[in-house]
Amino acid sequence: MLALIKGQVILKRPNYLILENQGLGYKIFIAPEVLAELNKGDEASFFVYHNIKEDAEDLYGFNSFEDLEMFEMLISVSGIGPKSGLSLMSLTGTEHLKSSIISGDVSLLTKVSGVGKKTAERVVLELKEKIGKLESEIQSPSLGANSRVLSDEIDALMSLGYSLQEAREVLKKVDKDITDSAQRVKEALKYIG
């Protein structure tokens, strides 16, 4: 199963790009705002969701693992397919989307074409608890009640080959007085090594 692709942008279209990696071109659907930041010839990497159906195989790309997790949660809800999920992700940032779901605000979700009030209510009902649980896992008691382990720190450790769970666990051990992300990652690596 594909999880991460790095390569060079060789073609851009309104809702996807083709990324060349070692002689293979991967068609990856991505959010328009991410696509707008890229130019032909740019090096890019994406966490990907590989959607396999009877009549197609599609890749959906995201800049961060947190965005990929949110996308996977969205498409787990009946009535939300990958295209609708990507549209929801494009509508607002992941954090704002999570806040809307946790607070039960369906008005944001219904702004996406094809997502009606009933589907939006189903998203809130099914994901409210999952998102709350995921957020509480990210909360680190050793860092204080209001501090969160930043997703870029987790992403940095994951890019070095550590699993999500390993990254979360080791970041909990880092001294709570260290606030600089780069320094926190360095300290985390000391615990791993």
pLDDT of res. 114: 85
Kindly indicate the confidence band of residue 193, based on its pLDDT and cuts at 50, 70 and 90.
low
Share of the chain above pLDDT 70, in %: 90
* CATH number 1.10.150.20 is the correct assignment for the domain at 65-138: yes
**Confidence band of 112 (pLDDT split at 50, 70, 90):** confident
CA distance 3 to 146: 31
Kindly state the average pLDDT of the residues 9-26. Answer: 96
**The 3-state secondary structure of 66-111, one letter per residue:** HHHHHHHHHHCCCCCCHHHHHHHHHHCCHHHHHHHHHHCCHHHHCC
How far, in Å, are 6, 16, 35, 38, 42 from residue 11 at the CA level? Answer: 15, 9, 11, 10, 10
DSSP codes of every residue in 156-175: HHHHTT--HHHHHHHHHHS-
Structure token digits, residue 58:
């599609």
The per-residue pLDDT for range 132-161, each reduced to its tens digit, is: 776 665 554 444 333 344 567 877 787 787
Query: Among candidates 43, 158, 44, 34, which has minimal Cα distance to 149?
Result: 158
Domain boundaries, the chain: 4-62, 65-138, 141-192
192 in helix, strand or coil?
A: helix
pLDDT digits (tens, 9 = 90+) for 78-87: 999 999 999 9
> Could you tell me what percent of the chain has a pLDDT over 90?
49
Q: Which residue has the higher pLDDT, 26 or 131?
A: 26
Specify the fold of 4-62. Answer: OB fold (Dihydrolipoamide Acetyltransferase, E2P) (2.40.50)
- What global pTM score does this model have? 0.68
* Per-residue pLDDT tens over the stretch 172-186: 888 888 888 888 888
Model pLDDT, residue 142: 42
What is d(CA 86, CA 80) in angstroms, rounded to the nearest whole number?
10
